[in-house]
Amino acid sequence: MKPLTKILLVEDDTNLGTILKEFLSVKGFEIIQVFNGEEGFEQFKKGKYDICLIDVMMPKMDGFTLAKKIRIIDKQTPILFLTAKAMLNDKIEGFKIGADDYVTKPFSMEELILRINAILKRSKTTQDEIEKIEFKIGSYLFNYDRRTLVIQQVEQKLTPKECELLRLLCLYENKVLERSEALTRIWRDDNYFNARSMDVYITKLRNYLKQDKSIELVNVHGTGFKLMTK
């Protein structure tokens, strides 16, 4: 039997916490529930979780502090913030810490489930492919660890952002990489300025790859990008 997806729920509102636990349990998740940041960190250290749902405003230790402490010892476990705070700066702070998503109270349970499942899907893709560091792109050889793109023994050194973006495009080769996913995973925020920055990096990558005419890096209008190879 497939093990249940295990969620660490850290929410100081006992009423909301109980409702969330009951709803998510009915949906087939295993829920470990605690009521403040300190308890949340102790529970996290004791077990392995598929995702953490963390309230921001809590006694003893707030959600941002808890997330920072988690990220020191674990870079991979997804974190989704639950909060009544809707300020843009708070969202940016959450993404900088390493959050995967952010829902503002009040939210619908259906929306929460959709966001959890989307994060888990991305996380599984990342875990399945985390060991892959070399990619063949037409006549090019791309090495993620070395940050190099080589064709006919000519090496192009990539910046960290160029490297992250090209790797993500390679993982989605011949499929659409949505703009929002690339921005969230690489820039940690999908605001206008980051979106324009990503467009600049796409142009640079397209220029690096132009020596092989069988490769196309195309814009998919209103959706994202596709690295097409024959």
pTM here is: 0.58
Is 124 found in the same domain as 69? Answer: yes
The number of folded domains in the chain is 2
Is 139 found in the same domain as 223? Answer: yes
Is 100 found in the same domain as 76? Answer: yes
Is 189 found in the same domain as 110? Answer: no
Is 125 found in the same domain as 54? Answer: yes
Question: What does pLDDT average to in each consecutive run of 10 residues of the chain (230 residues)?
Answer: 84 94 94 96 93 93 94 89 76 82 89 90 63 89 95 95 94 89 81 90 96 95 90
Q: Where are the beta strands (DSSP E) in the chain?
A: 5-10, 29-34, 51-55, 79-83, 101-104, 134-137, 140-143, 148-151, 154-157, 176-178, 216-220, 224-228
Q: Whole-angstrom Cα distance, residue 188 to residue 215? A: 28
User: Is the alpha carbon torsion for 107, 112, 118, 123 positive or negative?
Assistant: positive
Domain CATH for 89: 3.40.50.2300
Domain CATH for 141: 1.10.10.10
Cβ(55)–Cβ(8) below 8 Å: no
Is 162 found in the same domain as 58? Answer: no
